[in-house]
Chain A
Amino acid sequence: MANDREILREVWEGKLPVCFKLHPDEVVELQQPDPFYLMVPRLSYFPLVTDKVKKHFLKYVSNDKQDHEMWLEYNGQPMKWHFPIGVLYDFLVEGETETLPWIVMVHFDKFPETQIYRFSNKEMVESYFMACLKEADVLKHRGQIAANMQKKDHNQLWLGLQNDKFDQFWAVNRKLMEVSGESEHFKYIPFRCYLEDGYKQKLVRPVTDEGKRKTLQDLLKEMFPEKTMVNVKIHGMTPPLDTPLQWMSEHLSYPDNFLHLCIF
């Protein structure tokens, strides 16, 4: 049971200061626009928080590009909107000298079709989020809990995330984090390991065959048997290697119920 509200609260509170700048090539006004500063929750997604940013910069781009979709770029790399912001930050910024606020370039032109998906509206983000949630539930409980939920509960999860309402979100999400039946752990741990070239997923049980609890170290050994030294980052910190997997899944998962581990 995810009952350590102190940890959950701290995880939820995580926000990043982001400085949005319109790419100089796309400015048509004489005056360069002011950069737009925003605190964005690490657990949220960019399309949910950038409405104001778009509105601010629309004045400065040429008229024929105003209907184009806005996309974000950091350090020459388009950002995948369907990853949580925290994952993007941990993955893209780590390794360099991190300086806050995080400076992100805003584009309206030349949408990089081959590298990121188009998103026409927030419903698309919602359906992607719900799909991830259900996938995680399939791994944890064979999909029974998410399937038995009502539309109302799904809406509450989504609105809780969108409006940054911790209590609203966790009132429903705790059901997903419960252990079903008499067993004391999930069937498999839903997680994704982010590497240079995308992410890796595997079926990993939270306990060994003898019934012993597995730790983060066991998971890394299963995923990367050839590497001796693996650096992991989640929620902007490196968890101790002896952290039990079951506890991690319950407390350190992102709202889509996945553990998004950045591997270096």
Chain B
Amino acid sequence: MEMAEWRQTILFKLQNRNRKETYCFQDLIAQHNKVFESANALRNENLHLSIQNEKLRVEGGGGSNSIAETRLSEEVQNLKQKLLSQTEELAELHKRKGENAQQIIDLNVKLQERDKMMSTKDVTIAESQSKIASLDAEVGMLTHANKELKHLNDVLRDEYQALQLAFNVLEEKLRKVQDENRQLVDRLIKYKAKDADRMNEENDNFLNDGSKPFTSKLSTFGIFRKRHAKMQKEIEEACRDTRGVGSDDYQEGYGPISQSTLPTKVHVKFDGHEGEVNAVKWSPVDRIVVTGGADRKVKLWDVSKGTQENKAILVGSNAGVMAVDFDTSGSLILGASNDYATRVWTVSDQRLRIGKEMEYVLTIADFCFVTDLH
């Protein structure tokens, strides 16, 4: 066998080792241990015996009966042995008690850890609960708000429907009005056409009537003939009118005394307002003119001396003054302006007396004093 050599070496070495280390000492130590133990035991016994001896000596004064003595000593020995075993047991129990105490300490530590954990858990639970409560409140608030919004939404929808209905009705009305308007416009056009026809007819007639004496002279004028003829006719009519009025009206006792003539010359010219002048009126009593302008002012002018003289500026209007008028006594001035209001001033102290907004001013130019305010 090829492994034999090293195996043999190892076996030899091991045997050698055991011989040297083990077998030399084994018996010796076993013997020593035995002697050691017996010495220990003897020492113990010796101790016991000496104690016993001591005891017996104490008791020994009256001890005469050797048989009873030996029995007693046996008993004492038995009891001692019992005591010894008891003390051993006690030691064992003490040991176990120590272990148990350690265990209790460990468990207590564990318990404390658990308690700590529990308390942290409690805290987190409380936090969570408070959070839940707040969230609940929030949810309640939100549902409430939601309900309100729903209600509002319903109301708005109802309103919208009502308005839709109203709108439909109004639209219907508008359509009707538009139809009517169209009819009216049609009719107006028709009338206009009729008017134009009639006018043409009249012109033709006139031309036919009046053209005879002029035909030879004006025949060359072509296009201007009609206009000329019209002018001629107007002039003739004017001449005739003058005569007619002069004769008839004078005899009746009213109407202008002087002859009415067209004004040919500007007497006074002045810039009264900044912007347009919308209205001018004479005072019925004095030689005073009242003007209303787009600069929201009403002005009084004295023109008795042949020149203008600003007598007063009446303010208070919030928009351009569109119309002015005096009352019959000439002491009050009424002004109407584009701010839907009419105002009354007194001439004597130039103060605003009455200002009243009027809801419906359809045509401001058409208004005047109806009655004396006094």
Interface of A toward B, CB cutoff 8 Å: 4, 6-7, 10-11, 13-17, 34, 36-39, 67, 100-101, 235-240, 242-244, 247, 252
Contacts and interface: CB of A to CB of B under 8 A. Distances in A.
B33 interface: yes
Nearest to A7: B11
A121 to B, nearest CB: 10
A-B CB proximity, top 9 nearest: A17-B25, A237-B13, A10-B14, A240-B6, A15-B22, A236-B17, A37-B29, A243-B6, A37-B32
Given A34-B36, A37-B33, A39-B30, A237 B10 contact: yes
Contact of A6 (B11, B21, B33): B11
A252 B6 CA distance: 13
Contact of A238 (B13, B15, B22, B98): B13
A245 to B, nearest CB: 12
A248 to B, nearest CB: 9
Contact of B21 (A4, A100, A244, A247): A100
B3 interface: yes
B371 interface: no
A16 B21 contact: yes
Contacts of B22: 13-17, 39
Nearest to B8: A240
A100 to B, nearest CB: 6
A16 B25 CA distance: 8
Contact of B14 (A11, A34, A39, A242): A11
Contacts of B25: 17, 39, 100-101
Given A16-B22, A237-B17, A240-B10, 6 more contacts: A7-B11, A34-B36, A235-B14, A236-B17, A240-B5, A243-B6
Contacts of B32: 37
Contact of B9 (A6, A15, A240, A247): A240
B36 A14 contact: no
B26 A7 contact: no
A17 B9 contact: no
Contact of B29 (A17, A238, A242): A17
A14 B6 CA distance: 20
B200 interface: no
B7 interface: yes
A7 B28 CA distance: 25
B10 A7 contact: yes
A15 B11 contact: no
11 contacts: A14-B14, A14-B22, A15-B18, A16-B22, A17-B22, A17-B29, A37-B36, A38-B29, A100-B20, A237-B10, A243-B6
A184 B26 CA distance: 40
A15 B10 contact: no
Contacts of A242: 6
Contact of A39 (B9, B13, B29): B29
Interface of B: 3, 5-7, 9-11, 13-18, 20-22, 24-26, 28-30, 32-33, 36, 98
Contacts, number: 75
B21 A17 contact: yes
Nearest to A67: B98
Contacts of B20: 100
A13 B13 contact: no
A237 B13 CA distance: 6
A39 B10 contact: no
B31 to A, nearest CB: 10
Contacts of B15: 10
B10 A14 contact: no
A250 B373 CA distance: 144
Contacts of B26: 15, 17, 39
A244 B7 CA distance: 10
A184 B372 CA distance: 146
A247 B10 CA distance: 12
A106 to B, nearest CB: 16
Given A39-B22, A39-B25, A14 B17 contact: yes
A218 B22 CA distance: 32
Contacts of B18: 10, 13-15
B6 A7 contact: no
A240 B22 CA distance: 22
A212 to B, nearest CB: 14
Interface-centre pick from A4, A11, A13, A67 (highest chain B CB count, 10 A): A13
B9 A10 contact: no
Given A235-B14, A235-B17, A7 B36 contact: no
A67 B97 CA distance: 13
A235 B16 CA distance: 12
Contacts of A239: 6, 9-10, 13
Contacts of B30: 39
A185 to B, nearest CB: 15
Contacts of A34: 36
A247 B4 CA distance: 12
B138 to A, nearest CB: 58
A13 B23 CA distance: 10
A14 B14 CA distance: 8
A6 B11 CA distance: 8
A243 B10 contact: yes
A180 B98 CA distance: 49
B27 to A, nearest CB: 10
B11 A14 contact: no
Nearest to B5: A240
